[in-house]
């Protein structure tokens, strides 16, 4: 079985993430959305909230599951016999960061990373901008799955 993981903070999951996950689910037998901790970021949603939103957003994809892990991503991959990490690449500005992590993960445990070009329509989209726009009451309904939109309204007071 060909398995891949789509890792990230997913705080919250956006339509850009979901596009990459949907396309990965067509390429692999099983795709895991791994909600992980990025030690450089502070969160708006708890890990449990992020998992619930990711599960809801991916509920139409039968070969996609959602999980979490508090250690290294490569250890998750080894534990679950996953050989490929799939991440979205929005723009050149993502490249250095993603390449560095991809090469580190390859060095650490020989796990390969596939960088998937996002749809141009999502190249500007990030969870951090979504959080900020929602915090100031802006409309993010076109940028996130409907469950995330509801959760943002409840948490941050967005439109």
Active-site residue numbers? 17, 41, 90, 127
* Shortest Cβ 7–ligand PNS spacing (Å): 4
Q: Which residues bind ligand PNS (CB under 6 A)?
A: 7-9, 36, 38, 41, 72-73, 101, 104-105
* Shortest Cβ 86–ligand PNS spacing (Å): 11
- For strand 30-36 and strand 3-8, is the pairing parallel, antiparallel, or unpaired? parallel
- Where b means 16+ CB within 10 Å and e means fewer, 60-94 reads ebeebebebbeeebbebbeeeebebbbbbbbeeeb
Q: Which two tokens stand for residue 122?
A: 């999502």
Cβ closest to ligand PNS, residue 43 vs residue 138: 43
User: Cα–Cα distance between 33 and 87 in angstroms, integer?
Assistant: 11
Cβ closest to ligand PNS, residue 62 vs residue 70: 70
The number of beta carbons lying within 10 Å of the beta carbon of residue 40 is 6
* Shortest Cβ 73–ligand PNS spacing (Å): 4
3-state secondary structure of 142: coil
Cβ closest to ligand PNS, residue 99 vs residue 121: 99
């Amino acid at each position: 079985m060909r398995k891949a993981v789509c890792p990230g903070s997913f705080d919250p999951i956006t339509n850009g993430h979901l596009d990459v996950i949907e396309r990965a689910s067509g390429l692999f037998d099983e795709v895991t959305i791994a909600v992980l901790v990025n030690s450089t970021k502070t969160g708006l949603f708890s890990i449990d909230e992020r998992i619930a939103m990711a599960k809801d957003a991916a509920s139409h994809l039968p070969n996609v599951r959602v999980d979490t892990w508090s250690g290294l991503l490569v250890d998750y991959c080894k534990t679950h016999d996953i050989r490929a990490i799939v991440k979205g690449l929005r723009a050149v500005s993502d490249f250095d960061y993603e390449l560095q992590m991809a090469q580190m993960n390859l060095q650490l445990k020989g796990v390969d990373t596939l960088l998937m070009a996002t749809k141009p329509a999502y190249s500007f989209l990030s969870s951090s901008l979504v959080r900020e726009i929602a915090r100031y009451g802006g409309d993010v309904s076109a940028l996130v799955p409907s469950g995330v939109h509801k959760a943002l309204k409840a948490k941050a007071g967005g439109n």
